[in-house]
Chains A and B, each alone.
Chain A
Amino acid sequence: MGEPTPSSRSVMGEPTTDGRFGEFGGRFVPETLVAACEELEAAFREAWADPAFVAEFETTLRDYGGRPSPLTECRNLSSQLGVRLLVKREDLNHTGSHKINNVIGQALLAQRMGKTRLVAETGAGQHGVATATAAALLGMECKVYMGAVDVDRQALNVFRMRLLGSEVESVQSGSRTLKDAVNEALRDWVATVENTHYCLGSVMGPHPYPWMVRTFHHILGDEAAAQCKDLTGGDPDVVVACVGGGSNAAGIFSGFADGDARLVGVEPAGGAAVGRGVPGVVHGMTSYLMQDEVGQVMEAESISAGLDYPGVGPEHAYLAAIGRAEYPSVTDDEVVEAFTLMSRAEGIIPALECAHALAWIVRAAPEMQGQTVLMNLSGRGDKDVDQMMDVLGMHGIVS
């Protein structure tokens, strides 16, 4: 790693003026959207420098979103695994995941920019529900694009979004999952950019999204760092989070990136964009991307709809490239085991996404004996219960 430049002393600092984290990032969108991205960047910079905006953001997350989320010491799993396992409880936020942080930030910003309509993509439905919630709160129109495959496996969240007053469109194109929902949301935005804000749900897409979304999630990393210090007197040895696009990981990593903690982002084996390490350009960014031998984007396959994404946020590609964070992957079988383990050992049903993080901790625990491990529990598993009834019933684990 080279000397930090004066303008960005933090490992997870501001990207360059052309939106790069190292060689990753950028603004690879149709010309129609370039001006909108520039306008958004200017509006975000201006708002984030305005104490009144930041205060409104923080107050809304406190009084409406339920922040700060607690840090739970998992005593039973700790003794089983031989590590000291601390869990950041983003599952206890309003709408059940970390997604609310980003959505409140973007919705307040969109309103400040005079936009009256939000569009969003969603995989598991968590970001869609969060966006629908913010739209209801702020009186904005909202349309959520969701792959048809995900609509089927996340019926409860589809109903939630509709109950909250949003329109949900089932996307039939391509692999009919998250990547195609992003395409459809981009197509909508290309046509409606004058009155619509694209409320992107992860640290991906064109500049300024990866940086802006991470900044809105920074609050969870800061909280976790302070809570760890209170509890243990310092940083944990290891910080672990699941990675699809990578927003919850970016949020928690940002609280520790300048320290010594080992940072681990866990990808699904069927969506290991960083693990495969091939750069590509899609959805507005240069990053690692799962693609075939000629450059067609591949379909990710994961038990968890929220991680079913062939790319990854460009800052994660950068953190991997400079060696600051590592990105192992776990299999669906390991995830199912971890999902059950956490439910039974701690009385916490994790989202399948976060079960990836725990699955890696279980696997790596023998090499981490005695260490303090902080895991971001980015969402609750209620949305997955229906799907897991089938999976676990089939395996005879829960009948």
Chain B
Amino acid sequence: MSAAEASTRRDSFGALETHLRARRDSGAKLLVPYVTGGYQGWQRAVEAAAAAGADAIEIGVPFSDPVMDGPVIQQASTAALVDGATPASVLEEARELDTGVPHAVMTYYNLCHHQGHERFASALLDAGVCAAILPDLPYVEAGPWLEAAAETGLEAILLAAPTTPEHRLADLCGASRGFVYAVGLLGVTGERTALARTATQIAARCLAVTDRPVLTGVGIGSPSQAIEACEVSDGVIIGSAVVRTLMSDGPEAVGELVASYRTALDHG
């Protein structure tokens, strides 16, 4: 495509962001559950989560060295890899899903780097995935990936952390597509007994510099914590709670869990 076309494409919102903006502007708080792709029963878990009111689904593509993940998601990733999950197999299974909400992939950068940025982005799009989150590819290193994703039409979601300095935050939020992933605490994924104070602080800092949807993730472990986070944030990402439920009680229980968050966010 020409530079002008590429520029136009960059300036318009992708499917995920369009959907999330519409939902936010209608007054809803956004709910995005994470499910580890390739884990036994994961597709039914995704469908149950969508049916229970998820606004989008984050699909984890298991990686051998998930440095941003705590024990629960590590365990699910390892189990999926042992069962033979590969990026291709997870995407093939993702393609079969018909949930009616946008899908984003969460994985680690080496899987993207190894395949090549454009091929990786195209493979995701082919599987009906419209966005990607790469938590070990920070904004300062993301330039070539952001370019390739924009050219391909994939929304590249960036993470903002409590430690992100003010001078970088506006640029980071500006460069993110889909939404801004506000990392709620200093630490890896996993449920905590209370919502960290940093969760609302980083969401507020992001919202001050962008009109893009800001979703808070990492450390949201209960519907009441989700409500607390959403007093500032546009929505939440719930990962470990979902995956723990999938591992212990199966995919149908994931639907019930997501429904409890949906109800809490809709009715306080």
Contacts and interface: CB of A to CB of B under 8 A. Distances in A.
Interface of A: 18, 26-36, 173-174, 179-180, 183, 186-187, 190-194, 279-283, 286, 289, 291, 294-298
A26 B145 CA distance: 14
Contacts of B158: 31
**Could you say which of A174, A192, A281, A297 has the most chain B C-beta atoms within 10 Å of its C-beta?**
A281
Contact of B65 (A36, A179, A286, A294): A179
Given A174-B64, A295-B114, A281 B138 contact: no
User: When A and B form their complex, which 7 residue pairs have the shortest distance between CB atoms, in order from nearest?
Assistant: A295-B114, A191-B187, A32-B161, A296-B64, A31-B161, A35-B163, A297-B64
A192 B65 contact: no
A190 B111 contact: no
Contacts of A28: 109, 136-138, 141
B165 interface: yes
Interface in B182-199: 183, 185-188
Contact of B67 (A30, A31, A35, A286): A30
Given A30-B68, A30-B161, A289 B187 contact: no
Given A29-B138, A31-B159, A179-B65, A280 B110 contact: yes
8 contacts: A27-B138, A29-B138, A30-B161, A32-B183, A191-B185, A281-B113, A295-B110, A295-B111
B179 interface: no
A53 to B, nearest CB: 25
A32 B165 CA distance: 10
Interface in B62-119: 63-68, 70, 74, 78, 81, 86-88, 109-111, 113-115
A193 B109 contact: no
B162 interface: yes
B140 interface: yes
Interface residues of B, number: 40
Contacts of B65: 174, 179-180, 183, 282-283, 297
A31 B113 contact: no
A32 B187 CA distance: 8
Interface in B180-232: 183, 185-188
A280 B86 CA distance: 17
B31 interface: no
Interface string B223-261: 000000000000000000000000000000000000000
Nearest to A173: B74
Nearest to A298: B64
Given A294-B87, A296-B64, A34 B140 contact: yes
A341 to B, nearest CB: 37
Contacts of A186: 67
Contacts of A183: 65-67
Contacts of A173: 74, 78
B34 interface: no
A179 B135 CA distance: 18
B115 A295 contact: yes
A192 B187 CA distance: 8
Given A31-B161, A34-B164, A173-B74, A295 B113 contact: yes
Contact of A36 (B140, B163, B185, B188): B163
B15 to A, nearest CB: 24
Contacts of B149: none
Given A280-B114, A294-B87, A29 B136 contact: yes
Contacts of B39: none
A21 to B, nearest CB: 15
Contacts of B63: 296
B114 A294 contact: yes
**Could you say which of A18, A26, A28 has the most chain B C-beta atoms within 10 Å of its C-beta?**
A28
A297 B110 contact: yes
A183 B188 CA distance: 11
B87 A32 contact: no
Nearest to B70: A187
